[in-house]
Every structure is written in C-alpha cells, then in structure tokens.
Structure 1
C-alpha cells in the first residue's frame, strides 16, 4: 500500500467517488458500514491491507454469521461492498492485489419479488381525495409520485431527484438519471401525466420556485422531498386506501415490471425502462405467465402438436 494512506482515509476517498457517481445515500451508508466493519476486523488482527488473504475474508464473514445470524443475501451484500472497495484500491495502486476478486460464496436461489395485483394498485391510485383542502393538496403530490413509480418503474432515488426540466409533457417522456449517473429516457402514461400536471398547479402555493432545475416533488416549505418522506407517504396512502400491505416505492417498481412483462412479453423493452445494465437482472420477472409460455411453445415448436 502506498505510504501515507490509512485504510479509513482510503474508505473516505472511495465513498466520495461513489457519491460523485450518483449512488444513493442509503447505498453509501451500507457501503460505509460494511467496509468499516471489515477494516475494524483487520485492525484487531493487525492486518495491513496488503496482508489480507482469502482466509481472512472467510473468517470475517464467518464471524458475521456466528454473532449476527446474517442471511446469505446479507453476506453477499457485505462481500460485494468489500470486493468493490478492494478493486478500487487495487486499481489506484493502494493495494498490490485484490484478495476478494476470486472469493465466492455459495449463492442461494434468488427469491421472486413480492407483487401486488393490478386491482389493488388501482384501488390505491384511484382512491378519493381527502376532505380537507390541506390534505387534498398533499394527496395530489402523493398521487403524482405513486403514478410515476408505477407508470415508469422508477427507483426511489430517481423520483426524488426528478427535476421539472426532466419532464416532457408533449411526448410523455421522462429523462431519468439512474445508478452510476447513467441517463435513460422512459415513457409515462396519461394518468401519470394528468396527476403530475394537477400537482404542478399546487406547486407555487408551496413556495416552490417553478424553474427548470427545481425538484418536481417538494415539501410544503418548498424544500426537496427526502427519500424517507416519500417512503412514508407511499405507505400512508396505501393505508388510507384500506390496503393491508407494506407498500414501498420499490414494490411499485416490481409491479410495473411484472405487469408490463405479463402484457407485453418484451423483456428487452422492460430492461430498458428499468435501467438494468444486465438482462439477467430483469429476468427475475419472467415468472409472471407460464400459461403464455406453454401457449407460445404449442404454437411455435414444430413437434409440439400432431399434424392432422
């Protein structure tokens, strides 16, 4: 390791770069926690970064299982954070090699995401507005958020950072800045368009500066709406609709993907709209309609049916 750089300093440098790459605050906190835990483990054993071996990684993860009863998915998350940090340190010549590069954990089968049926989603989105004027204004903002999450499969961070200039009402397109600062353009539906336009009529009343760079979703004081605030409002509107589910933004993204695939069968298009760099990530949603799969097989395979 180059002289003058302590592990915690390197961690701070790495996190700063990840932030520049538009990683969410939630992800950055997880990275910091997981890598800090590993560096603390190394410190108790007087291990310099260049002294770390695969056996040390295995011992660290084993201690996590023993003391914290972590699941396989949690261990994979920790390992991913440590591996990315070490890869960055190796590329910057702060480490001679990355011992985590070839280190693997046995993966369990990936669980399918939970789903909400279309009727339940409609029950939430089409619920009547509250009685009081103040709550009506809140509902118009929340409805616009819900409609965009479900209409375009946006991530929480993407809807939070959406700016007025990113919305093209004429062509019904959104310019989204996603993970890794990658930009994509996605369509949004008529109901989402109407909801956002109704919300923007309220926008100036909340002391919002109606300028292209301003965030679409703000608080009543005119400040950008935070991630936790969005999560809480999504949960509240599900409860107000009488739906007994733990609704969160990512669940609406799952619903968008599954409902789109079920009706379109176009995996590539859904991949583009979700902003997945790898088609494998999108394929988790292909469980949606086995009846259609059987139908396609019967119609397409030359030996699926007996010729008359």
Structure 2
C-alpha cells in the first residue's frame, strides 16, 4: 500500500542494525572502556527520557546533550568522569550522523583538572586531623573512610541500616560507586564502637553522616572536604603536593592509606581489590570468596586499621552542647543587662 509505514519485521531489522553497529564499535575497545561506555549510554537514555538506545539514535538532538552535561555537573561528577560520559555519547551519536554541533556542546564541558598527587595519609596525620575536628559527625566520617577505604560518596551514602553489629567483626554494606555492586567491609573494633554510639539516636533509614538535625539528608561532600582541610591547617599539616596545585593530604588519600595498610599486612591482592570495590579481572570472576574468607585475610591488617583511643563521640557532643548553651546564656544575660542596667546587681552577680 502506498504511504504505509514500516512493518514490524522492518522495525526489528532496523533496531538490530542500530545495536549491531554500536556493539561492533565497542568490540574494538578494551573491556573496561566498553563497559564504561555502555553505562554512560544507559545514563544518557534515562536522563533524556528516551525509551532505549534505538530511540536515542533516531531522535537525540543537541539540546539533549546540553541537558545531559548539566545533569552530570549538578550530580557533582568529576570533570574527567563528565568527559568520559560525553565521549561515550558522542561516539554513539556520531555512528548515526545525528545533526549536532559538537564544538558548541564541548564548550559546556568542565576544564580538565591538572594532574595532582594523592599520597597515603600517615597515621600521625590522621590522628592530628581527628583531634582538630570540632564536628563529631564529620570527624566520624573521616575516621570511617580511613578505617575502611570507602570513597567519600560511598561513606556519605551510608544509612544506619547498612551496618551490622551482630557479627564479629561488625560489617558495613555499601554500594560501590564504580561497579554499582554491593560489597561488605569489616569494621575495626574502635570505629565500630564509635558508630554504635552515634547510631543510637538514628532510625534505620537515616543517613549516618548528615547535616546537624537533618538525618534525612546526606552530608555534602564539599562540607566534609572543607572540614578536613580546616583540621589539617589547625594541625599545621596542610602542605602542597608535588604539582604545587593540589594538597599533599586529601580525603582520597585516606583510601590510599587503607590500601597501603592492607598490602603492608600481607593481605591477598584479590581481597584488597574486593575491599576497595575495584573491578575484578575475568580470570578472577568465577572465584567466589565468602565473607568469612575475606575476614580471615582482613584480620592480618586489623591492628594497622585501629587508631589510638579517641575522645568518645558522645562525650565530645556533650562538650559541644555545653559550649553552645554557655554562649546562649551569655547572649541572654547581655541583652538583659542592656535593657535593665541594674539586673546583674539585683541578682548579686557582679
């Protein structure tokens, strides 16, 4: 019939052709790069409201790229991660000759960061930082990252229900930012006790690390980084790295410290990778370790992952509350004295 649309068989053939071209392109990439590109395209399809890859190949426009880049920036992705996502989408849409002005879109990309050096943070520096942090919640977050090797985003996404204190050693379950799969990480006794006290006032669904008085919202990464930097400065341990641009000690360096301690203790390299949430190779994919297997290796490093006994969280919080109360009373008395000059004399407080 003249003017009739494509048949179902033609639609299927077209869809398979689109996907075949994309998979053929990916086959020339390394396994990791191909998987990263697939993940980036899944994110693009979801963010821009396409039904699937074929729909994106047929309908994507420049405005969709703009929306996607802005979304990634709002999500707080690092510049290199945003550029990786962009490169994946550009590669995909270029295969289907979508009419997009790539030069104009690239002006929206964040500038590449200069190479910086993230050193492992020595134990004495970690202890000095913790001693100089005023906020107990942020202090506990920094301590946890050092003791477990979590990425900052993984730590800040933890909820009270993600920690199991009923087993020995206690463990936390976190979704890896890189593999998007759950992993279980044992907790040293000292940080486990501090977390247990901290969680007493939280509900299972509450974020462990949150703004004061608002456990339904996670603590912002910028706030934690600023608190870490401030504590370094107070401890007189803030130094520039070899590049002269970044800082010698960073929160990511705490993760390096964890890895260093595991390796130094002789923990099996595969277990080190699993605890850090790294992708495992094909040859290791079929080797399934139980949590008990992982703990057996982790025990080798347990002492290296334990700090000197810090100020208990609850005592620190009480001291902070007392300080705030004193400041409040001082303001009240100052106002009363301003309004009633003889107030202090009447109370016999002069």
TM-score (norm 2): 0.48
Query: Residue 183 of structure 2 aligns to a residue in which SS?
Result: strand
Q: Give the equivalent residue in structure 1 for 2:204.
A: 212
Cα pair 2:145 2:151 within 8 Å, conserved: yes
How many residues align? The count is 197
Find the partner of 1:256 among 251, 255, 258: 258
1:6 aligns with 2:66: no
CA offset digits 1:108-159 (Å, max 9, x no partner): xx9974222233323334x378xxxxx4xx2x21221122101110101101
Query: Are 1:221 and 2:213 an aligned pair?
Result: yes
Partner of residue 127 from structure 2, selected from 122, 128, 132: 122
The structural deviation recorded for 1:186 is 0.9
Offset of residue 168 of structure 1: 1.1
1:87 to 1:232, Cα distance in 2 relative to 1, 3 A: same
Q: Deviations over 1:255-284 (max 9, x none)?
A: 1111221122421111001101046xxxxx
**Separation of aligned partners in 1, 2:91 and 2:162:** 34
Matches within 5 A, 1:20-169: 25-27=75-77, 32=82, 34=83, 80-89=84-93, 94=96, 113-125=118-130, 127=131, 135=134, 138=135, 140-169=136-165
Partner of 2:268: 266
Give the structure 2 partner of residue 74 of structure 1.
Answer: none
CA-based RMSD? 3.3
Q: Is there any run of 5+ residues in structure 1 with no aligned partner, and where?
A: 35-79, 97-109, 130-134, 205-209, 280-308
Deviations 1:193-235 (A, max 9, x none): 122233335xx4xxxxx32221111111314211111111222
Relative to 1, partners in 2 of residues 1:193 and 1:239: Cα closer, same or farther, differing over 3 Å?
A: farther
SS of equivalent to 1:27: coil
CA distance in 1, matches of 2:79, 2:132: 38
Tell me the distance in 2 between the aligned counterparts of 1:236 and 1:112.
19
Matches within 5 A, 1:194-213: 194-201=193-200, 204=201, 210-213=202-205
Q: What secondary structure sits across from 2:77 in the alignment?
A: helix
Please tell me whether Structure 1 or Structure 2 has the larger radius of gyration of its CA atoms. 2
* Match in the other structure for 2:225: 231
Partners of 1:243 and 1:28 lie apart in 2 by 26
Secondary structure of the equivalent of 2:172? Answer: strand
Rate the CA distance shift 1:261–1:169 in 2: closer, same or farther, 3 A. same
Check 1:11–1:31 CA distance in 2 against 1; reply closer, same or farther (3 A cut). farther
* Structure 1 residues 88 and 274: alpha-carbon distance in aligned structure 2, compared to 1, 3 A threshold: farther
| Distance in 2 of aligned mates of 1:213 and 1:144 | 18
For structure 2, list consecutive stretches of 5 or more residues without a partner in the other structure: 1-55, 99-114, 240-246, 282-350
- Which aligned segments of 4 or more residues in structure 1 are displaced greater than 2 angstroms? 1-5, 10-16, 23-26, 28-32, 80-90, 93-96, 110-113, 115-125, 197-201, 236-248
TM-score normalised per structure 1: 0.54
Deviations 1:41-83 (A, max 9, x none): xxxxxxxxxxxxxxxxxxxxxxxxxxxxxxxxxxxxxxx4443
Q: Distance in 2 between matches of 1:221 and 1:111?
A: 36
